[in-house]
């Protein structure tokens, strides 16, 4: 049995502005005030786990410990079928430092060409982890499946959105109206499960 999450201040354990914007879109209409770890100058923990769940819990635990308040984290990425699920948990790492997701998208395309991959199936994966100060934890996972296009299209969204077309759609997430993307994304899928359990 999951515990209830009461509206109010919610710590988002992320320094990614794109994720913060999407989490605000999801939570603020329900009475939450989303405050990002970056706004609080919290240290960004090293993501040392090898699964989305592991990294999501690591980040949420760090933010909860630092603030003494319930914290939500989002670990997400893209898994490309022909690349054995890569970049997966290394999704952001493929963008380098400082992060440049056009570099990351080019790397994905180079790897697909190097593998002579006809299969361009991919999925975005999102894990939302909720951690309370007493140590209680909940985890919710969501996915959206699609195919990769080249060259990238669209200036909306973030990350790998301009090269991802969800199944049944013709526009990339980079071209799509943000409200439509949010309604069908991996994050929306995970959030629907969180909402059913906690809200």
> Which residues are marked as active site?
75
What CA–CA distances, in Å, run from 173 to 52, 163, 185, 197? 21, 8, 9, 27
Q: What is the DSSP string of 65-79?
A: HHHSS-EEEEEEEEE
Token code pair at residue 112: 């697909």
Q: DSSP code of 177? A: -
Pairing of β 33-36 and β 9-12: parallel
Number of helices (H), then strands (E), in the chain = 5, 6
153 neighbors 162 (Cβ within 8 angstroms)? yes
Tell me if 9 sits within 8 A of 71, measured CB to CB: no
Cα separation, 25 vs 96, in Å, equals 28
**Strand spans (E) along 65-134:** 71-80, 121-131
β-strand pairing of 9-12 with 137-148: unpaired
């Amino acid at each position: 049995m999951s515990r209830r999450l009461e509206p109010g201040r919610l710590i988002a354990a992320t320094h990614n502005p794109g994720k913060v914007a999407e989490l605000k879109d999801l939570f603020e209409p329900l009475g939450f005030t989303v405050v990002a770890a970056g706004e609080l100058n919290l240290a960004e923990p090293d993501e040392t786990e090898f699964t989305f769940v592991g990294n999501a819990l690591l980040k949420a635990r760090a933010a909860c410990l630092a603030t003494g308040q319930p914290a939500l984290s989002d670990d997400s990425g893209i898994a490309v079928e022909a690349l054995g699920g890569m970049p997966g948990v290394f999704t952001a790492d493929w963008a380098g430092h400082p992060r440049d997701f056009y570099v990351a998208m080019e790397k994905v395309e180079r790897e697909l060409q190097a593998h002579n991959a006809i299969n361009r199936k991919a999925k975005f994966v999102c894990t939302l982890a909720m951690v309370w100060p007493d140590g209680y934890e909940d985890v919710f996972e969501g996915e959206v499946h699609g195919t990769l296009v080249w060259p990238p299209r669209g200036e909306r969204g973030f990350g790998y959105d301009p090269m991802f077309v969800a199944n049944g759609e013709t526009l990339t997430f980079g071209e799509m109206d943000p409200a439509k993307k949010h309604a069908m994304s991996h994050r929306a899928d995970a959030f629907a499960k969180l909402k059913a359990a906690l809200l």
